[in-house]
Amino acid sequence: MGARTLIWTIIGLLAIYVAFQLLRIGRRQGSAGRPTQTDTALPDPGAPASDGDDDSDERRADESGGTIDGGGEDSARVGLELQQLRRDIAQLRSEQEAQHKEISRLDDEVSRLEQALAGVHAMQQASPQYREAVMLARQGLESEAIAERCSISVAEAALVKSLAQRGEAEGERDEA
């Protein structure tokens, strides 16, 4: 065998190798253009796992134009991405739940502060000598107890109590 024959043999083998590689690339690009099961719709992460129905798996593989395993590296990549998406969804759900709890807590705090503000507002409207009486009336003390603690008559204590109750009722109507 001469040098010329050896060179032509090497060129022929290289040509066959290049043609083979081009065919592989062409198949990959051709299959990448077709939508697969994972391209069209990701499965619901909350849905139960497949019950082993091989016919449906084969049907999906036929519809997607591939095999059940989806083609090696691409299938593994899609599987990993799907796992990451499921982890992200679970994390987002837990964060959302924590935010809902925080919103509930803040709503309770706002309600408590609104009640405290209404009490302060009523105290500002009351005459300085009757502020303590109004505060005691809002706490639910009887007129006699208010009169005794504030050194006012029972009639004044009853009046303060009725005014305080009326102020609370008006405050509730304004909120509604």
Pairwise CA distance, residues 108 & 110, whole Å: 5
Is 131 inside any structural domain? yes
Is 115 inside any structural domain? yes
Domain, as residue range, for 109: 73-125
Confidence of residue 124 (pLDDT cuts 50, 70, 90): low
Domains contained in the chain, number: 2
86, 108, 125 - which closes a domain: 125
Q: Is the pLDDT of residue 16 over 80?
A: yes
140 and 120 in a common domain: no
Mean pLDDT of 96-100: 94
